[in-house]
Amino acid sequence: MFTISCFPTRNDPEETFQSSNIRLNERGSAVKKSVCRFCESHLEVTFLDLGMSPLANSNLNESELNAVELFFPLHVYVCKSCFLVQLEECSSPDKIFSDYDYFSSFSDSWLRHAQKYSEKVMTRFGLNERSQVIELASNDGYLLRNFHSRGIPVLGIEPARNVAEVAKEKGITTIVEFFGEKLACDLKGKGTQADLLIGNNVLAHVPALNDFVRGLKVLLKSQGVITMEFPHLMRLMAENQFDTIYHEHFSYFSFGTVQKVFAKHGLKVFDVEELSTHGGSLRIYCCHEEDSTKSIEPRVLELQQREEKEGFGQLEHYVSFSGRVAYVKRQLLLFLISTKEAGKTIAGYGAPAKGNTLLNYCGVRTDFLDFTVDRSPHKQGKFLPGTHIPILSPEAITLHRPDYLLILPWNIKDEVMDQMAHIRSWGGKFVVPIPRLEVFS
């Protein structure tokens, strides 16, 4: 397999420190060391090494199966200074997001989540037709339409041209660009600033983190509010959600670390909510440091203390994660091998990005999973990257009657088991790999 790697990194003890970013190995050749995308300390401590993996959202067409496929290292580091858990940047964001194979509007539960959020903030912050709501990574406009329909001015910023087009068709004004300080300054220069600045599942995707947060500071009105949702590292670790690590996710935040990042750029977190979305997310509420109209809610201190108690202020806590992940892999492989040896069949359910991390890391291909199924017509007929497992429509399950259905989007396992309850009529069972392997009859 032809592979491409990004920065060659070495953790060789004989390397000698030379300058801010370059080291020499024992043979005297220069080796580039990556630095923390927040505090710029050298990245030396491995959080988790998942080996080489293709981009998780790059499903393949049949004609691409015999072509070269790009694999990138999925090696996660923890910064020993600020504890930001992060991937090195391997692929350009242009490549990842330019034709993003994901439309938010295809998930019912996500649409309900967006609607509930919109109603809550409209009331809490008294938004009206004189307010300005701006969303970063606004996707197909699924969230902003809730404000737009109430007559509140909205602006979306979305780098993926194909999804931005869908938003524009719905009447949601959308700028097709990556967000950062420059775009924020341009908008401010034209008199556009936000009363509410939203970023759902974008903070983790940002390679230039400091530039992005500086942009937030610029784009926020003096008494405006920022809300950001992102997966919570505490839940990722507690529930072995290592499969939510993929190249599109550059950073994995604890509450403590995200507070540090915002504080550095003159923004303070005044409230936080713990959500069940994406396996456990945080929604933070931020304002300007100098904004005295908002008081810090008790939930902020409570979560800070809980994280400290769990060990998020100590490097050893982060380093211990690798061993638990390897155990999950062994348990899944033991199950798959013994099931195939017994002559049983296994199919997958879903083609989420997280499934690709799991399957590539565990080396599971059509030798174990005959096929997977997905409700999204955009994915049907394609093949999973790396493993080349075909993606069929859910009717294939009824046709082929597999003995086991491996649920890849474990975060919606109850919904899937309801939808697919009919597999029990032929004795079919459900398998959930994470947080630990479980079989449901």
Which residues form the interface with Zn ion (CB under 5 A)?
A: 36, 38-39, 41, 79, 81-82, 84
Burial class, 351, CB count within 10 angstroms (exposed 0-12 / middle 13-18 / buried 19+): buried
Buried b (16+ CB within 10 A) or exposed e, 224-260: bbbbbbbbbbbbbbebbbbbbbbbbbbbbbbbbbbbb
Nearer to Zn ion, 43 or 55 (CB): 43
Rounded to a whole number of angstroms, the minimum distance from the CB of residue 249 to Zn ion is 17
Nearer to Zn ion, 134 or 209 (CB): 209
Nearer to Zn ion, 81 or 128 (CB): 81
Rounded to a whole number of angstroms, the minimum distance from the CB of residue 313 to Zn ion is 14
Rounded to a whole number of angstroms, the minimum distance from the CB of residue 41 to Zn ion is 5
Nearer to Zn ion, 39 or 175 (CB): 39
In the chain, the amino acid numbered 408 is: L
Tokens at residue 288, please? Answer: 């300007």
What is the Cα–Cα distance from 154 to 146, expressed in whole angstroms? 10
User: Computed from CA positions of residues 416, 417, 421, 425, in that sequence, does the dihedral angle turn out positive or negative?
Assistant: positive
Rounded to a whole number of angstroms, the minimum distance from the CB of residue 82 to Zn ion is 3
**Where do we find the tokens 């294939």?**
396
What is the Cα–Cα distance from 433 to 125, expressed in whole angstroms? 41
Nearer to Zn ion, 146 or 257 (CB): 257
Nearer to Zn ion, 267 or 373 (CB): 267
Nearer to Zn ion, 36 or 225 (CB): 36
What is the Cα–Cα distance from 332 to 362, expressed in whole angstroms? 8
Rounded to a whole number of angstroms, the minimum distance from the CB of residue 77 to Zn ion is 9
Rounded to a whole number of angstroms, the minimum distance from the CB of residue 193 to Zn ion is 30
In the chain, the amino acid numbered 326 is: A
Burial class, 205, CB count within 10 angstroms (exposed 0-12 / middle 13-18 / buried 19+): buried
Residue 396 per-residue DSSP state: H
Burial class, 395, CB count within 10 angstroms (exposed 0-12 / middle 13-18 / buried 19+): exposed
Where is 94: in which H helix or E strand? helix 93-97
**53 near 213, Cβ under 8 Å?**
no
Rounded to a whole number of angstroms, the minimum distance from the CB of residue 196 to Zn ion is 29
Nearer to Zn ion, 84 or 152 (CB): 84
Rounded to a whole number of angstroms, the minimum distance from the CB of residue 257 to Zn ion is 8
The beta strand positions in 232-264, using DSSP E, are 251-252
What is the Cα–Cα distance from 15 to 9, expressed in whole angstroms? 11
Nearest Cα to Cα of residue 119 among 152, 96, 87, 95: 152
Rounded to a whole number of angstroms, the minimum distance from the CB of residue 79 to Zn ion is 3
Tokens at residue 301, please? Answer: 């201190």
**Where do we find the tokens 């398998």?**
431
Give alpha helix (H) positions in 220-364. 233-238, 255-264, 298-310, 315-319, 321-341, 353-362
**404 near 346, Cβ under 8 Å?**
yes
Rounded to a whole number of angstroms, the minimum distance from the CB of residue 209 to Zn ion is 10
Nearer to Zn ion, 20 or 293 (CB): 20
C-beta neighbour count of 22 within 10 angstroms? 11
Rounded to a whole number of angstroms, the minimum distance from the CB of residue 270 to Zn ion is 24
Helix %, strand %, coil % for the chain, to 5?
A: 35, 25, 40
Q: 215 phi and psi, to 5 degrees?
A: -60, -40
Nearer to Zn ion, 39 or 208 (CB): 39
Nearer to Zn ion, 38 or 253 (CB): 38
